[in-house]
Structure formats: structure tokens, C-alpha cells
Structure 1
Amino acid sequence: MTASPYSPDSGKPERAFLDANVIRGQQTTDVLLSLADHDVFEPRWTQQVIDEMRRNRPPGVSEKSIDRRIARMNGAFEKAMRSAPPQELQDQMRADPKDKHVLAGAVHSQSQVLVTDNLKDFNPPTTGSNAMRVESLNQFLIRKLDEEPQRVQEGLRDMLDRNRREPKTMSALIDVMAEGQELRGFAQKLNTVVPAEQRGTSPVLVATQRGSAQYAAFEGVAEPGTPAAPAAAPEARKSGGSKGAEKAKDTEQDK
């Protein structure tokens, strides 16, 4: 059964299937799950994705630390873990052979978007039972910021309040994200949304046309049909708390 397309004014968070490459690192995981904790979206994954994330953890992260993080992720988001897609469905997927399980997991879990930084490995149909929107991490976060700017900023502020290490302010967070690779496009866009006193000062934030947040938001997006223009942030959902993300907080900080 194909999931119905997501609408920002539906009053329900979008179901997003997270590939291993967007939850392997501390910063990307913390940003994503902090937003999920504020009902910006509902995360989905499978055990195979989690196993891949564990195998490809960043250098210096111990097995004990990554296992503790995984346990907290699953504990904080009890509906995120989904059953493995049947092999028959995996065989139907238009994706690189090693990534068929990822696209099948998104379809099988009735997710409305697959978030991955391996866009080139996925070519889902735009219609039919196996249709799936596919976005990079930056594309997804930028779209969520456009759709729900207040909720996204609230989630990030709660994350910063929990941090025991830098960054502890919005401006510092924007600079850190901009100077890295994984969240640079999101940082550029966020820097145009937050109040002036919270903006970052990194030279990287002076974007070229190709590196701009607007370009990053739409480059290479594969999705079924034509997306509707972002609507105002829906107010029907209650504001999320910080308990889930706090439980799932990457425990590399505990070392």
C-alpha cells in the first residue's frame, strides 16, 4: 500500500525513513532526532539500516558507545523501528543493489520521504505502489525549516540547552554546521531565518549561487509528482517536548 503524499497543513508529522548515512554521526543524529522530538517529522528505520549505521560509525566511536546510542534512539522513538521489507519487494526496487533494502524499507513502512545522502543510488518511480520521494539530508532539513520555521528552531534550541559541550548557542551551531560538509546547506538557510543576533559569522555562510541553501534545497530531488508549495507551520499538533531527544542524545559526549 502506497503512503499518501505528505501535506504540511495535514496536522500530522511527515513519516521519514532515515538511511544509515544520515544517522551515523553525532551532530546529524542529534539535529534530526531533536526535530523529531518536536513533531517536525516521525522517524523510521529498520534493523538492517541500524546495523549498517553501526558498522560505519565514525572513527573513534566505540562499539559500546554506538550501541548505547542505538538503544536510546529505539527507546525514545518506539515506533521508528519497522519490520524488514520482504525480499520480493526489495527485488522490485529501482536502486543500487546494495541499497534496495533501504528503498524497500521506506516503501514497506509507508514512509512519505526517504532521507539519504546517496541520491545517485536511488531512482524510484514517480507514481504507483513503489513511488517514493527521495531527499538529501540538507534538502529535507531545509524543506522542514520552510514548512515549520518555529518548530524547527524550538527543536534546535532545546538541543543546545542539553549540550554539555559546544556548540551551546544558535550562532555557534550555525557556524559549526556551515564549516562542516554534512549540514552546510541547512546552516546557510537557517542563518537567513534566525534573528540577527543569533546568526553565525563563518565566511562559509557567504554562499555562492551553487552552494546556496536555495539551490541545495531542490537539486537532485526525486519525488512522486510535483510538490505543493510549503504552507504555513501547522498549529494542530501540540508542541513537542525534549524527553525523546534527550534520551536519544548521542552518548559520545559521555566519554
Structure 2
Amino acid sequence: MSFVVIYDANVLYGNTLRDLLIRLAMTGRLQAKWTSRILDEMQRNLAVNRPDIPEEKLGKLRLLMNSAVRDCLVEGYEPLIEGLKLPDPDDRHVLAAAIKVGAQVIVTSNLRDFPSEHLAPWEIEAKSPDDFVLDQIDLDGRVVWACVQQIADSRVNPPEAVDDVLDTLEKAGLVESVAALRAG
């Protein structure tokens, strides 16, 4: 059985963190999942906070994400939503999707919205992006380092070095992960 994770909208919002999480999924070491509703939330927040990004570019981002990670879209989870309890009822769709696909982890920046007592019955754990990436480094730091290098190599306008990517990830909250990569 593969390791299945749900990426919440808030971890898919920032460009560099999203890029890293998708590249980790593309390695085949884990199966990343999300729903159209999660992508709607990400896209809606980007449209509000980044009006400089044209709507068609946001649509293209969504298509690229869905084509980059095989079998990423979760469907048919909606009937589970009503029976779930979370501090914020608007987050129940994320838990429902995780239950539907048998995910072990929900990667989210809003840990307080996914308390362990509500996730435990389904053997699901909520992890911050920093803890999740740190786990990936513990499994094989070379794979994570290669993903960071790929991001740096893909940034040509303007060009970025690995240190620039690490700085951006650190600003996005991956403090311990970046420290581990720099020490590694």
C-alpha cells in the first residue's frame, strides 16, 4: 500500500512550497491527493490576494497540477462530509477526502482545525508542511534535495540558486526542513 497524503489548499497556495510538494509526489514515494474544492479554494485565494495573476494563468496552474501528479483528484467524498466533526465545518471536506482515499496524513498549515481526536478514528494525522517535509528528509534527504535543485534549475526568469529556493521555503515556514537540508 502506498503512502497517501492530502494537500490542503493553504499548502498549495505559495508557489515554491507547492512546487516542492508536487515534485515530492512526482518522485513516486508518496501519492498526493486533493479535490476540485481544495483547488477552488487555492485558486480563489490567489485571485483575491494576487490580482496581478491573470485568471487564465490560474486556470493553467490548476491543469498543470492535475497533470503533474497521477491520480491526484479525489471524487465521491461528498456523502461523508455531513457526518464529520471539526472545529471549522468548512474543513470537513478535506477530512472526507482523506477518509475516502485512505490517506495517512493531511498536510496543512492549519493544524488547530484538524485536532487529533477528530482524525484518530480514521488513523489520519495532520502535519504541518515543515514536519511533513522533515519526514521526507528523514526518509531520504537526497530525494528532497534533488527536488529543491530541480526547482532552482527551473527558475530562469529571474534565475535562482538553491540558496534562493531554500530562503523562500524558510520564509514559507519550512524552518526545520531548510535547516536540515543546509546541514545535510
The aligned runs of 1:177-216 (5 Å cut-off) are: 177-178=169-170, 180-193=171-184
1:47 alignment partner, one of 33, 36, 40: 36
Which residue matches 1:18? Answer: 7
Compared with structure 1, are the counterparts of its residues 167 and 138 closer, same or farther at alpha carbon in structure 2 (3 Å cutoff)? farther
**Does the CA-based 8 Å contact 2:17-2:172 persist in structure 1?**
no
List gaps (5 residues or longer) in structure 2: none
1:29 alignment partner, one of 18, 21, 28: 18
Structure 1 residue 29: Cα displacement: 1.0
| Larger relative helix fraction | 2
Moved over 6 A (4+): none
**Does the CA-based 8 Å contact 2:148-2:165 persist in structure 1?**
no
Higher relative contact order (CA 8 A, sep 6+): 1
Which residue matches 1:113? Answer: 105
**Does the CA-based 8 Å contact 1:18-1:43 persist in structure 2?**
yes
State whether structure 2 residue 68 is matched by structure 1 residue 79: no
Return the index of the structure with the highest Cα Rg.
1
- Aligned equivalents of 1:84, 1:55: Cα separation in 2: 22
State whether structure 2 residue 166 is matched by structure 1 residue 174: yes
2:134 partner SS: helix
**Does the CA-based 8 Å contact 1:37-1:155 persist in structure 2?**
no
> How large is the Cα RMSD of the aligned pairs?
2.0
Once the two structures are superposed, what CA deviation does each residue of 1:55-108 show, in whole Å capped at 9, x if it has no partner?
Answer: 111413221111101011112223000104133x21332312010111111111
List gaps (5 residues or longer) in structure 1: 5-11, 194-255
- Aligned equivalents of 1:62, 1:184: Cα separation in 2: 31
**Does the CA-based 8 Å contact 1:48-1:84 persist in structure 2?**
no
2:34 partner SS: strand
- Aligned equivalents of 1:52, 1:28: Cα separation in 2: 16
State the percentage of identical aligned residues. 26
Q: Give the alignment's TM-score, normalised by structure 1.
A: 0.64
Q: Give the alignment's TM-score, normalised by structure 2.
A: 0.87
Structure 1 residue 142: Cα displacement: 0.9
- Aligned equivalents of 1:39, 1:141: Cα separation in 2: 15
2:94 partner SS: helix
Aligned pairs, how many?
179
